[in-house]
Structure 1
Amino acid sequence: MRRTPKDTEDSARKVRRRAVLMGGAMGAFVAVLGARMRYLSVEQADEFRLLAEENRVNIRLIPPARGLILDRNGKLIAGNEQNYRVVITREDAGDVPQVLNRLASIVPLTPEDIEKTLKEVERRSPFVPITVADRLSWTDFSKIALNAPSLPGVTPEVGLSRSYPLDTDFAHVVGYVGPVSEKDLAEIESPDPLLQIPKFQIGKIGVERWIEDNLRGRAGQKRIEVNHVGRVMRELERIEGSPGDDIRLTIDAEAQNFAQVRMGEESAAMVAMDVETGDILACASAPSFDPNLFVRGISQKDYSTLMENDHRPLSNKAVAGAYPPGSTFKMVTALAALESGLINAQTGVYCPGHYEVGTRRFHCWKRGGHGTVSLHSALAESCDVYFYDIAQKIGIDRIAEVGRKLGLGQRMDLPMSAITEGVMPDKAWLAQRYGQDWRIGDTINASIGQGYVLASPLQLAVMTARIASGRAIAPRLVKAIGSEELPVPDAPQLEITPEYLAAVRQGMFEVMNSPRGTAKASKVADETMLMAGKTGTAQVRIISAAERASGVIDNKNLAWRLRDHALFVCYAPYDRPKVAVSVVVEHGGGGSAVAAPLARDLLLFCLTGGIPPLSAYPASQRGTIETRFKEMKLRDISGAGTAKSRA
């Protein structure tokens, strides 16, 4: 059927209308698309450029070099050494277990290592690098670098790790570092971002812990370019952080090593202190341990060995040990009695070998007694009855007041762990602590440093330095932080009559130099370094009346844990005090026989700056002393430097 012209015209009109509608729709679509493209490419250009940049650029923290720890002469105590390690970043690795298994075929990784890493990966942000292994050999480190294309997200790195070249000598003072724990983070109000880096190490005990903020430094950062699979292509920018401050201690590394070696196998502690400044010259506790074991990850076997040792090598006995001071406390009782005005240095007390209070008898160490003694002879011969008598006259509160002035019962403000406050008891203390009334017997026990009285070797050194100087000397462990020398704090005069201090010093001088002095065997022959001191022997067991009647069992016939503690305090030179020393030997027996020789050797070492000359000792002892020094295995650190590099 033929179409009419009219039909043809109508059809053409419809087509034109449809074409216009379709063209309009397409034009509108193109216009909208163009507007959107303009919005994205022009107005949103900066935002998408940033997103693209973040897609190919990673920013990572650069841990700073930890500050060094040096002795007073600049010898290295704690430093940093190169450490080859390998890290993995979950975001870049993809299939982490597969990558770790591949890595384990290249370098030694145990299933436990892999499991530990996977747990750490799950706990941390996908962008945080996780340390898989450290302290790698150069061979293993090279293998990882060569196989990098097949190990996405794995990066070999060269970092720094803490090391302690003098290991056991400073373990208790300096401490050690270890990985940040959840407990560490919980104790910090605003944690440094560095602490979020897995296996980042911070100070755990000692100086490393208490001066952590100075030692840590500030982190740097680096911008690295990565490809689409996370492979590092190049480093775009590096901003170095600030290394930690170097810390210089007051301790002399050679004196510290001498003290540590001199104590040998004993369970003991020695403290040497500058009487003029309060600088701690040595602070040694034996036995010790190697802090490098903790930095590298101590084995269960090594840790168990340390924990099971009855001499407690992990305990810093010099500051954390609290011991009955025994007769080293008698200077406190004497000064309290003199200050009370109830006695003077010439007041005599008769000692028959015991002292009776009601039906109870308190014994003197000398069974037959000392006869009539005054202050000087009572100190020189360590007569217990003299101090029982004067203590009963003045009471415990006066004794405690003088004890606190001399530093007992006070926590010393030093950057070390577990510093004990000790105990300087009085009536109020006993009532508060135990809800009991103070008795006369308690005063008598306290008068000779037994009963409730407890003190650390550090406190005994402070007490001795204060008696020697007449000033409230405070102990000091840090000499400088960074380039800043710390000022020596002012030490005010003690609120104790100088005349009475002089009387006590004279008694301490006679301990060493009187024919009847308890420590005459440890006297110094060189008149320019004459010592003043006091012996102490502290009981750790109760002696029954039956044993006393039949004869007290000698320490050498008792089990080690039942033997008396041996103590000794001293200073020199007597007429111009420079150094004070305290020694405690756990279960060592007599203070005069065991502790005094140790103290004399360390005191002379500090005064002479090295192995004491034989001329400082009595002629009859020089052969024995010479042999002892030859057998001591001291470190050769006389020429040690400060390690100019932090690497």
Structure 2
Amino acid sequence: MRRNARDTEESARRVNRRALLLGGASAAMFAVLGARMRFLSVEQADQFRLLAEENRINMRLIPPERGLIQDRNGKLIAGNEQNYRITLTREDAGDVETVLNRLSHIIAMTEEDLDRVRKDLERNSPFVPIIVADRVPWQDFSKIALNAPTLPGITPEVGLSRHYPLVEDFSHVVGYVGPVSEKDLAELTDPDPVLTIPKFQIGKIGVERWMEDTLRGAAGNKRIEVNAVGRVMRELERTEGKPGADIQLTIDADVQNFVQMRLGDLSAACVVMDVNSGELIACTSAPGFDPNLFVRGITQRDYSTLMENDHRPLANKSVQGAYPPGSTFKIVTALAALEAGVITPETTHYCPGYIEFGNRRFHCWKHGGHGTVNLAHSLEQSCDVFYYEVAQKVGIDAIAAMGKRMGLGMRHDLPMSAITEGIMPNKEWKQERWGQDWRIGDTINASIGQGYVLASPLQLAVMTARVATGKMVEPRLIKAVGGKPVEVPEPASIGLTPAQLRAVQTGMYDVMNSERGTAKSSRIADETMLMAGKTGTSQVRNISAAERARGVTSNDDLPWERRDHALFVGYAPYAAPRYAVAVVVEHGGGGSTVAAPIARDALLRALTGGIPPLDAYPAAQRGRIETDLNALKEKLRISGTPQTTRA
């Protein structure tokens, strides 16, 4: 059947409309595809060429900038300095031996250096850059840069290295950094990827170690293009890491330096502590060492010198050293007896120079004895017999409990290495440690800080601060982190009455300021800074009956390692205490003659804010003191300047 003209015309119109729609859609689709192809092939050609050469694009971690460590006034203790280094990436080097051979003709490299590089390359991924040379002089650095086309895989880099400008002053407190070891990685369950960078440095001891996570920061990364011979062509993308947080210590760098120089060549330790806040103003151990040696890679010769020194420069004696506290411990015995009610300040005992218990004689340090003494006199003259008698009445458990309250026999929580707990013994301790019963003789020895009792200079400083304030003051080392002050709770009461504390404080005042005081020669003459204290001398050898009969050998006539330890604790000003001090001089002899003068100088430096004034010393001593202080000023190191910006 024929279609009429009208139907034919309508059908043609529909076909034309569909054709136009389909044609338009096809044209639009081809236009979009063409535009996209042009965009990909022309405008994005470089990027896709790089993606096509995926093995030529490397991702590398950027070590974070380590946080600064400053003193309480913002002076730099540990900072970062610019460091030129040369790295080698095995994946980009091709023939490693050829590259190393060329490199050794440009900069000086020993066979030992080359062997170390080979071992590092074997231990690490081919894509990880290995440090070939660190702390490279600018001349060598520029030579490497000029010869880069002939050294595939070699990259000259500018990085940061740790630096300690005050050298030994903070060597024990702050510590040092060193390369990550396999032992370091084994101790971590989920190590930060940045730790896998060869020669990446982390804290090894001291604040550097115990606040590592705070100081380290977070790594960044960069995407780089390298050519066929491994040379870096350009950096495609960089994401900066997060610098570590800065840490501010409570220590005053100037006081620390003064005390360190005052200790000089002695094997000794001194702790100065704010009695109200617990802030450590100085925490020194002598001799010190240069922590920069460890950062750079200490030589076997330097390390052997440190290890063979009988004064043990690597040991932090201020917190690690555990010593018999000697007569400084009489403070604890006296407070325990007062609290137990077995004595009052007026109680007296007669001292003939010894007591006898069983078949043993316990001697007083004064051969002829002190006669009749009360509590204040027993502290003033350091009578041993008084405490022998008192200790038998109060018992070791009560003495040990008081020792704990005063901060002995416990590990104080500070970010430093090897902090000792010391020993505050009681009956249970001896049974657990030695499987033996406690004896009265043990109590007698413990009453004067001998026998099993051991304490560190830090613990003795805490004890003294608690005596001065009657509060449970805790030592503090960190003042602020990342600019934010560390909050400190108000210390609780020690639980002793003002009368009990005053009885001991009076005796400590007399030690310094009475005619018969054991440390009267080390008193402070300025009435506004009068000092209270207690001397101590602890034996490191047994004195036989035969030696006593013929006369005890003087410390000066003994080998150094057999001499007594010299100790002193004190605080000032007496009327309104601000600072406590504890000094231990290993094998120094008498506490009154060796340790007390050091403690006085340290307290005066903290109290006055400068070199101690001559009028603070007794008039008869000023000529000698002036000479000593002038000599000391010549040794003082200029402390770091305030620094709040990074290198």
Give TM-score scaled by structure 2 length.
0.92
Q: Which moved more, 1:627-636 or 1:262-271?
A: 627-636
Match of 1:453 in 2: 453
SS in 2 for 1:190: coil
Match of 1:223 in 2: 223
SS in 1 for 2:307: helix
Provide the rounded CA distance (Å) in 2 between the counterparts of 1:50 and 1:88: 22
Match of 1:19 in 2: none
Match of 2:638 in 1: 637
Provide the rounded CA distance (Å) in 2 between the counterparts of 1:281 and 1:567: 19
For these two proteins, the number of residue pairs brought into alignment is 604
**Deviations 1:191-228, CA, capped at 9 Å, x for gaps:** 11110000000000000000000111111111111122
Match of 2:134 in 1: 134
- Deviation of 1:269 (Å): 0.3
- Deviation of 1:446 (Å): 0.1
SS in 2 for 1:319: coil
Match of 1:504 in 2: 504
Match of 1:594 in 2: 594
Match of 1:369 in 2: 369
Specify the code of the residue in structure 2 equivalent to 1:515.
E
- Aligned partners of 2:512 and 2:522 also within 8 Å: yes
Provide the rounded CA distance (Å) in 2 between the counterparts of 1:101 and 1:398: 73
> Is residue 2:59 matched to residue 1:52?
no
Provide the rounded CA distance (Å) in 2 between the counterparts of 1:263 and 1:227: 59
- Aligned partners of 2:166 and 2:637 also within 8 Å: no
- Deviation of 1:150 (Å): 0.5
After TM superposition, list the pairs within 5 Å mapping 1:302-451 onto structure 2: 302-451=302-451
- Deviation of 1:51 (Å): 5.2
- Aligned partners of 1:257 and 1:634 also within 8 Å: no
**Deviations 1:621-640, CA, capped at 9 Å, x for gaps:** 111111001001343536x4
SS in 2 for 1:330: helix
**Deviations 1:262-315, CA, capped at 9 Å, x for gaps:** 011110000000001000000000011100001001111111110000000000
SS in 2 for 1:225: strand
Provide the rounded CA distance (Å) in 1 between the counterparts of 2:221 and 2:643: 26
Provide the rounded CA distance (Å) in 2 between the counterparts of 1:275 and 1:246: 26
Provide the rounded CA distance (Å) in 1 between the counterparts of 2:69 and 2:366: 49
- Aligned partners of 1:78 and 1:165 also within 8 Å: yes
Provide the rounded CA distance (Å) in 2 between the counterparts of 1:363 and 1:635: 43
Residues 281 and 204 of structure 1: is their aligned pair in 2 closer, same or farther, counting only changes over 3 Å? same
Provide the rounded CA distance (Å) in 2 between the counterparts of 1:225 and 1:438: 75
Residues 122 and 48 of structure 1: is their aligned pair in 2 closer, same or farther, counting only changes over 3 Å? farther
Match of 2:196 in 1: 196
SS in 1 for 2:173: helix
Match of 2:236 in 1: 236
Provide the rounded CA distance (Å) in 1 between the counterparts of 2:320 and 2:467: 23
Provide the rounded CA distance (Å) in 1 between the counterparts of 2:441 and 2:55: 80
**Deviations 1:154-200, CA, capped at 9 Å, x for gaps:** 00000000010001100000000000000000111111111000000
- Deviation of 1:112 (Å): 1.0
**Deviations 1:350-409, CA, capped at 9 Å, x for gaps:** 000001112211000001110110000000000000000000111100000000000000
Match of 1:10 in 2: none
Provide the rounded CA distance (Å) in 2 between the counterparts of 1:210 and 1:644: 22
- Aligned partners of 2:566 and 2:588 also within 8 Å: yes
Match of 1:3 in 2: none
Specify the code of the residue in structure 2 equivalent to 1:609.
G
Specify the code of the residue in structure 2 equivalent to 1:106.
I
Match of 2:527 in 1: 527
- Deviation of 1:48 (Å): 8.8
Runs of 4+ in 1 over 4 A off after TM superposition: 47-51
Match of 1:210 in 2: 210
**Deviations 1:504-529, CA, capped at 9 Å, x for gaps:** 00000000011100000011110100
Provide the rounded CA distance (Å) in 2 between the counterparts of 1:539 and 1:298: 37
> Is residue 2:89 matched to residue 1:89?
yes
Match of 2:250 in 1: 250
Specify the code of the residue in structure 2 equivalent to 1:319.
V
- Aligned partners of 1:81 and 1:646 also within 8 Å: no
Provide the rounded CA distance (Å) in 2 between the counterparts of 1:399 and 1:453: 11
Match of 2:567 in 1: 567
- Aligned partners of 2:328 and 2:568 also within 8 Å: yes
Match of 1:145 in 2: 145
- Aligned partners of 2:274 and 2:579 also within 8 Å: yes
Specify the code of the residue in structure 1 equivalent to 2:140.
D
Provide the rounded CA distance (Å) in 2 between the counterparts of 1:641 and 1:192: 33
- Deviation of 1:499 (Å): 1.4
Match of 1:472 in 2: 472
- Deviation of 1:485 (Å): 0.6
Provide the rounded CA distance (Å) in 2 between the counterparts of 1:359 and 1:635: 54
**Deviations 1:544-563, CA, capped at 9 Å, x for gaps:** 00110111011000010110
- Deviation of 1:50 (Å): 8.5
Provide the rounded CA distance (Å) in 2 between the counterparts of 1:343 and 1:141: 76
Match of 1:35 in 2: none
- Deviation of 1:49 (Å): 7.7
Specify the code of the residue in structure 1 equivalent to 2:482.
G
Provide the rounded CA distance (Å) in 2 between the counterparts of 1:479 and 1:121: 42
Provide the rounded CA distance (Å) in 1 between the counterparts of 2:552 and 2:346: 32
**Deviations 1:319-355, CA, capped at 9 Å, x for gaps:** 0000000000001000001111111110010000001
Match of 1:482 in 2: 482
Q: What is the aligned-residue identity percentage? A: 70
Provide the rounded CA distance (Å) in 2 between the counterparts of 1:616 and 1:506: 21
**Deviations 1:101-156, CA, capped at 9 Å, x for gaps:** 11001001111111111111111111100000110000000000000000000000
Specify the code of the residue in structure 2 equivalent to 1:89.
T
Match of 2:4 in 1: none
Give TM-score scaled by structure 1 length.
0.92
Specify the code of the residue in structure 1 equivalent to 2:366.
K
- Aligned partners of 2:50 and 2:57 also within 8 Å: no
- Aligned partners of 1:67 and 1:216 also within 8 Å: yes
- Aligned partners of 1:97 and 1:118 also within 8 Å: no
Specify the code of the residue in structure 1 equivalent to 2:580.
A
Provide the rounded CA distance (Å) in 2 between the counterparts of 1:498 and 1:185: 53
After TM superposition, list the pairs within 5 Å mapping 1:118-129 onto structure 2: 118-129=118-129
- Aligned partners of 2:373 and 2:386 also within 8 Å: yes
Specify the code of the residue in structure 2 equivalent to 1:353.
G
- Deviation of 1:610 (Å): 1.1
Residues 375 and 644 of structure 1: is their aligned pair in 2 closer, same or farther, counting only changes over 3 Å? closer
SS in 1 for 2:318: helix
- Aligned partners of 1:392 and 1:444 also within 8 Å: yes
Specify the code of the residue in structure 1 equivalent to 2:139.
T
SS in 2 for 1:265: coil
- Deviation of 1:644 (Å): 4.8
Specify the code of the residue in structure 2 equivalent to 1:457.
P
Unaligned runs of 5+ in 2: 1-36
- Deviation of 1:54 (Å): 2.7
Residues 636 and 358 of structure 1: is their aligned pair in 2 closer, same or farther, counting only changes over 3 Å? closer
Provide the rounded CA distance (Å) in 1 between the counterparts of 2:637 and 2:594: 27
**Deviations 1:455-487, CA, capped at 9 Å, x for gaps:** 000000000000001000000000011111101
Specify the code of the residue in structure 2 equivalent to 1:97.
E
Match of 1:268 in 2: 268
**Deviations 1:544-603, CA, capped at 9 Å, x for gaps:** 001101110110000101100000000001111100000000000000000000000000
Provide the rounded CA distance (Å) in 2 between the counterparts of 1:494 and 1:272: 20
- Deviation of 1:619 (Å): 0.5
- Aligned partners of 1:268 and 1:584 also within 8 Å: yes
Specify the code of the residue in structure 1 equivalent to 2:302.
D
SS in 1 for 2:391: helix
Provide the rounded CA distance (Å) in 2 between the counterparts of 1:213 and 1:54: 34
Residues 55 and 292 of structure 1: is their aligned pair in 2 closer, same or farther, counting only changes over 3 Å? same
